[in-house]
Amino acid sequence: MTPDPHHYYLDSNFFIAALEQGDDGCASMLQAACTGAVLATTSALTLAEVLTRPLAAAQVPQNRSLIARYDALFEGGSLQIWPVDKPVLRAAAAASAGGAMALPDSIHVASAMVAGCDVFVSDDRHLRLPGEMTHIRLAALPAFTLQARRPL
């Protein structure tokens, strides 16, 4: 198979599906991203979003384990964690200025743009992506990545 030519942006709901809901396609993609088999980026904002629910009930042992898994995932490795910096915030402000997207969604889209991603992986239906960026829903992810790596 050929290497996957895409640069994926992984939205918060991707991580929840992979780590909390047992979605095999997302878990497989996450493993590929963490080992460097595919190029993948997410925003530092994602950590805050995925930790909100587990931290609300941190006394539950499963949630403590989940918090530790998220913390380890965001500490480094091949998965690129894009900072929420001035270029991202300016692009996010421009994207949400028309009221089309909530600011957190705009930060995710802006992070993907600034990072140079060409595929946005998310189940969010109301995203407004630039024309050159492909939106892949979680259910379509296994077929899309398989097609991207098919033999020439």
What domain range is 42 assigned to? Answer: 7-148
pLDDT recorded at residue 76: 73
Q: Is residue 33 part of a domain?
A: yes
- Which CATH number does the domain housing residue 133 bear? 3.40.50.1010
Classify 122 in phi/psi space as left (phi over 0), alpha (psi -120 to 50) or beta: beta
pLDDT recorded at residue 148: 52
Alpha-carbon distance of 13 to 39, in angstroms, equals: 18
Q: Is residue 1 part of a domain?
A: no
Alpha-carbon distance of 69 to 123, in angstroms, equals: 22
Q: Is residue 91 part of a domain?
A: yes
Q: Is residue 2 part of a domain?
A: no
Do residues 44 and 81 make contact, with C-beta atoms less than 8 angstroms apart? yes
* Mean pLDDT (the chain, rounded): 89
pLDDT of residue 152 exceeding 80: no
pLDDT recorded at residue 144: 65
pLDDT recorded at residue 5: 84
pLDDT of residue 58 exceeding 90: no
Do residues 148 and 133 make contact, with C-beta atoms less than 8 angstroms apart? no
pLDDT of residue 109 exceeding 70: yes
pLDDT recorded at residue 119: 96
Whether the model pTM is above 0.85:
yes
pLDDT in tens, 2-21: 567 899 999 999 999 999 99
DSSP character for 76?
A: S
- Element spanning 95, H or E: helix 86-96
pLDDT recorded at residue 97: 82
Number of domains within the chain: 1
Answer with the residue of higher pLDDT: 124 or 142.
124
Q: Is residue 47 part of a domain?
A: yes
Measure Cα distances from 134 to 86, 106, 137 in Å: 25, 16, 10
Length of the chain: 152
pLDDT recorded at residue 30: 93
